[in-house]
Structure formats: structure tokens, C-alpha cells
Amino acid sequence: MFNNTLKLSGFMLKREKKTSAIWLLSIVIFNALIMLLFLFVMVPEPEERAQLMAMFENPALLAMVGPLHPEHGVSNIDMGYVFTLFMMVMVAVVVAIMNVFLVVRHTRADEEAGRYEVLRSLPSGRLANLNAAMVSALIINAILAVLTALSMFIVFGLGDSGFSDFGSAILWGVNMGVIGLVFAAIAALFSQLSANARGAMSYSFFVLGLLYFSRAVADMDMNAGSEAFAFISPFGLISRTWVYVDNLWWPVFAVLGMAAVITALAYWLCSIRDIDQGLIPARPGRAKGGLLMKSPFGLNLRLKRLSIIVWIIIMLSVAASYGTILEDIENFIGGSEM
């Protein structure tokens, strides 16, 4: 079932060396630049951090970025707490997107292009290709976790030495790694269910949006009985590691368990389905194409229709969220001496 997984993993990593290197460097550099911005430009002084934390009286901001600590709330203005509060979920969403593209590219997309059938004609196991994709995702996310943790420890060390906590930096990096693994598993699952790569990515991004908004519902009011929604979302779970405050590890293991269950389900579905077929059957199209299908642009628009709809819904939701906090941002900027 898993014959020649290591060779396939090496082949995938060789194919990925440029694409994944760009993703990894972009995430690590972006994370480091935002840290530098917080440390030296945006909120270097405690008074400015206090003004920034006052914005969290708006539930819409909590829905966007994550929950306040149940004991410290807006009173904790340590830089580590402020930074993780603002950036944990946002960086995790980018990591999730990277992993969806990674796994779909090496599973359903390869199958759709005919490469998987060529590999299956060689002495490789039925599950070797999917297993190699997950092994590649594991290695890439492990590298991401290490690089993110090191960059966080080094950059925070440039500022107040009290923020340069290696244990907290490690936990932040591990959070990013496990988020990547759970969305790699979700992409692997939909690569078995969908009949094509577009569908696999669209379904994966739709689930990403659902999990993000289930976390948002819980974080807007943690005392309103909606806390359970946070625990069905990996975003909600890693937010409750409370990096730079409590450094809890149990949510990490919960997310790893979630990834393991979804991965096992994907393996089982891969073992029972036919090559080039998805378990969700593709809907038959019309016998004759419309006017739009007569041009290359129209054909591409038709092929990308589901992805475009999903991204429009996500962007409209994000825009609506930003619209609800603009007034508070204006007051923060107006009250800042800088």
C-alpha cells in the first residue's frame, strides 16, 4: 500500500523546492516584519499599547483576530500578548492556504493531469502518492515551525529582553506547523471526494471559511455559551494556547488529533475509490455550450466559477468585518501622539 513512499516524497520535495521556499520565506519574513513594526514603530510604548487594546471593546475586532485572555483581557499590554492577539489567526490562515495548494497540487491535480496514473504503473503502492504528499507537508510545516520560532525569538530579542521567551516562540512556531497539518489533511480529504482539483480547492477553502467564522462566533463573546464553537475550529484551539501568557500545549495535541483523524479518513477513501474518480460525482454538463464558452476567456471563467464565488464570499465577509471597526481605528490613530 505504501511502497516507495520515500522516493515519491523526495520527488515531490524536489518539485516543491522553489514554490514552497517562496511560501516559507514570505510567511517568515512577513511575520518578522510585523514584529518589527510592533516593536519599534506602531506600539513601542506601553501607553500606545493600552490605546490599541482599548479597541477590543468592539466585538467585531475580536471576531477578526482572536479571543482576549479570560483573566487578563485588555489589561495585559505586554508586547508578546498584544502581538499574538493580533497576528496568530491571520498568519495561521495564510499557512492553511499554503497547505491546501500544496496537497491538492500533488494529489488531485497530478491525478487530473495523468501523472498519478504513470506513477501507479511503477512499483508504488496504492496509497504511496497520498502518503508522500502528507509526508512532504509534514516536512515543510516542520521547517516552517522552526524558522518561525527562531525568527520570533531573534526579533523579539532586539526589543525589550522580557519578550524574548524561547518557550513562547517555540509554541508559536508549533501552532503554525499543526495548523498547516490539519489543513493539509482537509485538502487530502477533499482530493478524494472531489472529481477535480478546482473542486478540491474550493471545498477546502469553504471549510477554511467555516472554521474561521465558527471561531469568530466564539471569540466575540466568550461568556455567551458559544465557547464550544472555538473547540471545533483549529483556529480557535491554537488561539487558546495563550502564547506569551500561559503557554498551554493541550490545544496543540487536540489539533494534531484532528489532523490524524482527517488524514486516516482520507487514506481510507483513497483505498476504496477508482483512479481519476471522486466520491462526489461530477455533475454532467449541458450538451451544448453557451455563448460564453466560445471564447478562451469564457471557458476559463466557467472552469474557475466555483473558486471565484468562494473567494468573493470570503472577501466580502472580511471587508464587512473591517468596516465594523473603522471608527475604532480612527479613534486609536487620533489619540496617538505618533
299/297 Cα distance (integer angstroms): 5
Query: Across residues 244-272, what is the average pLDDT?
Result: 93
Mean pLDDT of the residues in the chain = 82
Query: Across residues 251-267, what is the average pLDDT?
Result: 95
Main-chain dihedrals φ then ψ at residue 49, nearest 5 degrees: -65, -40
Give pLDDT, residue 330: 61
Give pLDDT, residue 156: 78
Give pLDDT, residue 225: 58
Which tens digit of pLDDT belongs to each residue from 55-89?
Answer: 777 677 777 787 888 787 777 778 888 888 888 99
218/290 Cα distance (integer angstroms): 45
Residue type, 224: A
Give pLDDT, residue 55: 74
Helices (H) and strands (E) in the chain, counts: 13, 0
Q: Are the CB atoms for 54 and 74 separated by under 8 Å? A: yes
Domain locations along the chain: 5-334
| pTM reported for the whole predicted model | 0.85
Model confidence at 97, pLDDT cuts 50, 70, 90, reads: very high
Q: Is the pLDDT at 2 greater than 90, yes or no?
A: no
Q: Is the pLDDT at 326 greater than 70, yes or no?
A: no
Residue among 149, 186, 153, 182 nearest 252 (CA): 182
Give pLDDT, residue 5: 80
